[in-house]
Amino acid sequence: MPEAPDLYVIREYLEPRLVGRSITNAAERKPLVLRNMTGEKFTDDIVGRSISAINRKGKLLLLRLDDQRCLVISPMLTGGLRYCSPSDRMEATTILTFDLDDGHQLRYFDQRRMGQVYYLHPDHLGEIVRLENQGPDVLDEPLELEEFKLALKPFRGEVKGILTRGQAVSGIGNAYADEILFEAGLFPFRKKSKLTSTELSRLHSAVYSVPREAVTVLQEKVGDSIHKKVRNFLKVHRNGGKPCPRCGTRISAIKANRRETNFCRTCQPGTMFD
């Protein structure tokens, strides 16, 4: 899933390439992903519009088009963007294509069609719950420790779930939640209510440092391959069975809540009953 650091770098790459370009043709190759909220025929309505801005909020990208239109892209687990030539091989997972007036093409692909692309008038942005119902972005100016504690306050349950839900802080998914908890030395299934003040402070510092450091690495590694998820520099996520980079213990992999969680039992001690 693209998370805040991935989308930060994708946005940065696309901005100079998309802003000012106009859309000369668009196609919806597969149904179920596009949510057209305009009442107009999508492929007719979008042609001729130009892209005036590209923004990011948490795990979503927002393209502003001229004359009162927006595209909101929520890639969820398996979606992504490709910037290429229209003659490049069309992958079977391609859902939407947009031809640009400089001869490039922007494609939205999604293996499992779990993501959504909304096409709408900006007045209706408030209807996209996933966009509105987000906490302050993890890559924005960090909250102070006390503000961070307040932001966490309404949420109960396991600390990893609170991080990925996006309401206390937005932009963190499964991968960066694992990395943040490793950095903070916290057991991922630890109940938030049980965190000591020192642990909260370690969590606060990791929540902001880990995604920022990731942006710096991704800016080096992603290049033109914005369609590829670069994750090979992560310390624990997807590294189950490999030695912990800090202590050498084998990294654990637990499947819970339909996703895998990776952590080090030595560096992040705890049990399900804590």
Residues in the site for Zn ion, rule: CB under 5 A? Answer: 244, 246-247, 249, 264, 266-267
Nearer to Zn ion, 96 or 244 (CB): 244
Could you tell me the smallest distance in angstroms from the CB atom of residue 158 to Zn ion? 20
Could you tell me the smallest distance in angstroms from the CB atom of residue 1 to Zn ion? 25
Q: How far apart are CA 226 and CA 54, in angstroms?
A: 15
Three-class SS state of 84: strand
Could you tell me the smallest distance in angstroms from the CB atom of residue 238 to Zn ion? 16
End-to-end CA distance of the chain: 29
Q: How far apart are CA 203 and CA 184, in angstroms?
A: 5
- Please report, for residues 83, 84, 91, 105, 106, the alpha-carbon distance to residue 88 in angstroms, rounded to integers and kept in the order given: 10, 7, 9, 9, 11
> What count of Cα atoms within 13 Å lies in the side-chain half-sphere of residue 256?
12
Q: Which of 167, 166, 165, 159 is nearest to 185 (CA)?
A: 159
Could you tell me the smallest distance in angstroms from the CB atom of residue 152 to Zn ion? 25
Give me the residues paired with residue 262 across strands. Answer: 253
Helix, strand, coil distribution of the chain in percent, nearest 5: 30, 25, 45
What letter represents residue 177's amino acid? Answer: A
